[in-house]
């Protein structure tokens, strides 16, 4: 893989920066905010990644259901080996482009089971605005999952609080402020969602847009839709049972209870325990944390941002 010689320092000096959490700064590049360590990988993806027409790319803003979708897509596409999920963390089955494949560790594609399957399954948090020139010419399929902004923010805040890299508590007020002003990794959240939303309207046969809440509400129906979209419907003999097994096998209750997903071990690419990707898996958990003023503020911004798009939370 080509190395452009980009170092963290190159970005450090030239890009607009803003404090995000504790002393950590985020860097603005091409209209989006990045943690410093993911900038070189991001640039490498945009410069070097050439998707195959058969690739399936899961895109998401962080904390919107990526882990769940990784498990579901893996199971839908690799039905006969879905039992892997009992012993392997979804992030070790479906790699994230800018972190695992083009990031600092640069693991090879062949390390991941899902990249040798009939359709390679890859994930990314990169916004469509940046990725468009990479994915469009290849004709690959994309799935975008999003989640209501208040739960996304709450999940993000909790995730960061648990992260070992931050010694100081991160006040919720600050997290809300940063989220609302767009200064959040891969943010602004609203631009991220709208980029994929618009693309899914323009190219529905190639971009599948789904919300965490829809999936929670009726997992079975949406897993079926996903399988149809991916060209591997559940319509053979005994496939209804397989569908049922996948829905249950990937549910929060089942998945979060496998030893591997409860583990305090961490991967080489992320210094966080495997268990940190599973917390509660509820819809509406923000009600336990955000006060009325915060809720009103986010609701107002959400209405303003999504107003003209036809997409609403």
Catalytic residues: 125
Which tokens in the block code for residue 177?
């402020």
Cβ of 31: how many Cβ atoms within 10 Å?
A: 11
Whole-angstrom distance, CA of residue 210 vs CA of residue 229: 12
The single residue among 15, 17, 24, 62 that binds ligand A3P, judged by CB under 6 A, is 62
Residues 239 and 289: their CA atoms lie apart, in Å, by 41
Q: In terms of Cα–Cα distance, which of 201, 78, 85, 217 is closest to 144?
A: 201
CB 254 to ligand A3P: min, Å:
8
Task: Report the alpha-carbon distance of residue 53 to residue 40 in Å, rounded.
Answer: 25
Is 146 a binding residue for ligand A3P by CB under 6 A? The answer is: no
42 is an interface residue for ligand A3P by CB under 6 A? no
DSSP state of 72: H
Binding of ligand A3P by 41 (CB under 6 A): no
Residues 29, 166, 252, 289: which binds ligand A3P (CB under 6 A)? 252
Name the packing angle between helices 149-162 and 292-306 (round to 10°): 120
Q: Is 255 in the site for ligand A3P (CB under 6 A)?
A: yes
Measure the CA–CA gap between 29 and 130, rounded to whole angstroms. 10
Confirm or reject binding of residue 155 to ligand A3P (CB under 6 A). Answer: yes
285 lies in the binding site for ligand A3P (CB under 6 A): yes
Q: Does 95 bind ligand A3P (CB under 6 A)?
A: no
Beta bridge pairs of residue 77: none
Among 28, 281, 295, 306, binds ligand A3P (CB under 6 A): 281
Binding status of residue 250 toward ligand A3P by CB under 6 A: yes
Tell me how far, at minimum, the Cβ of 278 lies from ligand A3P, in Å. Answer: 5
| Phi, psi (rounded to 5 degrees) for 29 | -135, 125
Residue 75: how many CA atoms within 13 Å on its side-chain side? 29
Choose, by CB under 6 A, the member of 279, 289, 295, 297 that binds ligand A3P: 279
Beta bridge partners of 35: 26
**Least distance to ligand A3P, CB of residue 290, Å:** 13
Q: Determine if 56 is a binding residue for ligand A3P (CB under 6 A).
A: no
**Strand spans (E) along 95-151:** 121-124, 141-146
When asked if residue 65 is in the footprint of ligand A3P (CB under 6 A), the reply is: yes
Site string for ligand A3P, 66-85 (x = CB under 6 A): xxx-----------------
In sequence order, the β-bridge partners of residue 141 are 56
115 binds ligand A3P (CB under 6 A): no
Dist. CA 157–CA 151, nearest whole Å: 10
CB nearer to ligand A3P: give 11 or 155.
Answer: 155
Task: Report how many residues bind ligand A3P under the rule CB under 6 A.
Answer: 21
Q: Give the interface segment with ligand A3P, choosing from 25-33, 57-65, 103-111, 127-135 (CB under 6 A).
A: 57-65
Q: Which residues bind ligand A3P (CB under 6 A)?
A: 60, 62-68, 151, 155, 158, 250-252, 255, 277-281, 285
């Amino acid at each position: 893989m080509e190395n452009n010689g980009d170092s963290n320092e190159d970005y450090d000096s030239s890009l607009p920066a803003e404090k995000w959490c504790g002393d950590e700064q985020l860097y603005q590049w091409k209209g989006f905010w990045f943690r410093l360590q993911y900038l070189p990988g991001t640039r490498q993806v945009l410069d070097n990644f050439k998707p195959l027409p058969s690739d399936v790319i899961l895109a998401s803003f962080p904390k919107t259901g990526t882990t769940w979708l990784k498990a579901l897509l893996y199971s839908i596409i690799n039905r006969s080996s879905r039992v892997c999920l009992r012993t392997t963390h979804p992030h070790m089955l479906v790699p994230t482009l800018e972190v695992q494949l083009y990031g600092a560790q640069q693991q090879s594609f062949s390390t991941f089971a899902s990249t040798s399957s009939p359709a390679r399954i890859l994930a990314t948090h990169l916004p469509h605005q940046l990725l468009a020139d990479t994915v469009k010419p290849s004709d690959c399929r994309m799935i975008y999952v999003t989640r209501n902004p208040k739960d996304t923010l709450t999940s993000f805040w909790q995730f960061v609080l648990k992260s070992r890299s931050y010694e100081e508590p991160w006040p919720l007020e600050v997290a809300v402020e940063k989220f609302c002003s767009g200064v959040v990794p891969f943010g602004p959240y609203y631009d991220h969602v709208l980029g994929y939303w618009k693309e899914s309207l323009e190219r529905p046969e190639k971009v599948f847009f789904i919300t965490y809440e829809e999936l929670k509400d009726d997992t079975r129906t949406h897993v079926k839709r996903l399988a149809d979209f991916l060209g591997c419907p559940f319509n053979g003999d005994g496939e209804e049972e397989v569908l049922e097994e996948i829905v249950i096998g990937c549910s929060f209750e089942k998945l979060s209870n496998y030893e591997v997903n409860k583990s305090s071990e961490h991967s080489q690419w992320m210094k966080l325990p495997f268990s940190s990707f599973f917390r509660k898996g509820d819809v509406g958990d923000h009600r336990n944390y955000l006060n009325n003023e915060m809720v009103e503020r986010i609701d107002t911004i959400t209405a303003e941002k999504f107003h003209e798009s036809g997409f609403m939370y």
